[in-house]
Amino acid sequence: MAISVGLNCPACGGAIQVAEGDNVLNCGYCGSLLWAEGDAGVMTVAYRNVQGRDSVLRATEQWWRKGWKARDLREKGKLLECYPIYLPFWSTTTRVAGWICGYEERRHTDREGNVRTERIPMEEMVLNDYRYTSIACDPGDLGIRYLRNVGGEASFADFESIPTFESTTSKDEMIATSKQRALEEARGDANVPHITFERVIAIPKGISRIYYPVWVVRYSYGERMYMATVDGVTGNVLSGRAPGDPLYQSLAVTAGTSIGGLIAAGGLAFGLGAGEGLLALIGLVVGGAVLALTYRFFRHGSEIVEGDFEGKAADMRGKLMKEARRTFRGFHT
């Protein structure tokens, strides 16, 4: 079986030019309008890398100084290598349209203390575009799962010189998850507390593949090797691992135990003194929460991890949705 197919205009026999993702085209010779059928492919865009070695290394060094990273990282950290790669992302636009009906309940208390519940009917039209991005390959230990920035100059100029990661995940699965997420978000945006009727549909408007330039920086700290990634368009650090500092870990737990302990004590003292058991309980819970937060940093703060790494998966989905919401608002009626 041949794996290559030559393409000719069925009308005039001239060679035709077709780019991946296109299905309607004109023959360059006879001008016939043609329709390409079959394995559809995806429109592909690449953004031009505008960062250089120096700016990437400088961004990494600045990043070392931020947050709770080891204080001696500036002296002990050695930048070893730094190279750009093109990472593939799926980018989808999904339109959600329809109506959501329902009601809102409001409670009124009159002078005699009678509680009356008022039902306010609601009828919300939904017409929104949602745009999502998601990495189209396994990100491994790069700590990147979606695009923070969707601007940039589209250009294939560096495409040959920068190693390109191949997209290995399914575009149809991306379309399906986008539909599902857009529906959930549209429902949230309509903000109808009690839904009695809804008719909303998600229409996939398009999917494209974006090749986005990312710089990988490897650096050493003592004998250990850490990494960071820098956005090739904006120059911001996207993700990275860095050594932590025992001083910050112990300061955190000292602050957590003292503040948490005193809040708990305060809650107990006032709550029990005033005979309000609930207040005492709230004090204990808040104190315990402060302790738990700082304990986490105390226990795991020896390595500072920024970005979407494995093991931080629990908050990944929420984060992705939040990001989508902030960056990609279409129009709202």
Partner 1 sequence: MASMKCPKCAAPVEFDAGDRFVKCSYCSSQIFIDKAGAGFIYALPFSVTENDAVGIFRRWAAGPTRAKDLDKLAQISSLKKQYFPVYMFKRDVNGMEHVYIEPAASTTLPGLHNLKVPGGDLKIFDDRFDTGGAELVKIDIEMAPYLSSLPGTAKEQALVYFPIWRLDYAFEQRAYVAVISASSGEVFSGDFPKRSSGAYMAVAGLGFLAFLAEGLLAIASPVLAGALMAVTVAGVFGASNYVARRM
C-alpha separations of 168 from 44, 94, 234, 264 in Å: 14, 22, 26, 52
261 is a contact residue toward partner 1 (CB under 8 A): yes
Region of 68-76, 124-132, 192-200, 246-254 interacting with partner 1 (CB under 8 A) = 246-254
User: What part of residues 97-156 is at the interface with partner 1 (CB under 8 A)?
Assistant: 135, 137-142
166 is a contact residue toward partner 1 (CB under 8 A): yes
Looking only at the bridges linking them, the beta strands covering 77-109 and 115-135 are antiparallel
Angle at 160 between CA 157 and CA 162, to 5 degrees: 95
* Beta carbon nearer to partner 1, 26 or 258: 258
* Beta carbon nearer to partner 1, 119 or 300: 300
Q: If binding means CB under 8 A, how many residues of this protein chain bind partner 1?
A: 77
Region of 82-90, 92-100, 116-124, 230-238 interacting with partner 1 (CB under 8 A) = 82-90
Q: Out of 70, 82, 264, 280, point to the residue binding partner 1 (CB under 8 A).
A: 264
Region of 185-193, 231-239, 245-253, 324-332 interacting with partner 1 (CB under 8 A) = 245-253
Give me the amino acid identity at 221: Y
Task: Identify the H or E element spanning 97.
Answer: strand 77-109
User: What part of residues 28-47 is at the interface with partner 1 (CB under 8 A)?
Assistant: 39, 41
Q: Is 165 helix (H, G, I), strand (E, B) or coil?
A: coil
Q: Out of 72, 172, 276, 315, point to the residue binding partner 1 (CB under 8 A).
A: 172
161 is a contact residue toward partner 1 (CB under 8 A): no
159 is a contact residue toward partner 1 (CB under 8 A): no
* Beta carbon nearer to partner 1, 18 or 125: 18
Q: Is 290 helix (H, G, I), strand (E, B) or coil?
A: helix
Q: Out of 96, 227, 228, 280, point to the residue binding partner 1 (CB under 8 A).
A: 227
CB 89 within 8 A of CB 44: no
DSSP states along 228-274: EEEETTT--EEEEEEEB-HHHHHHHHHHHHHHHHHHHHHHHHHHHHT
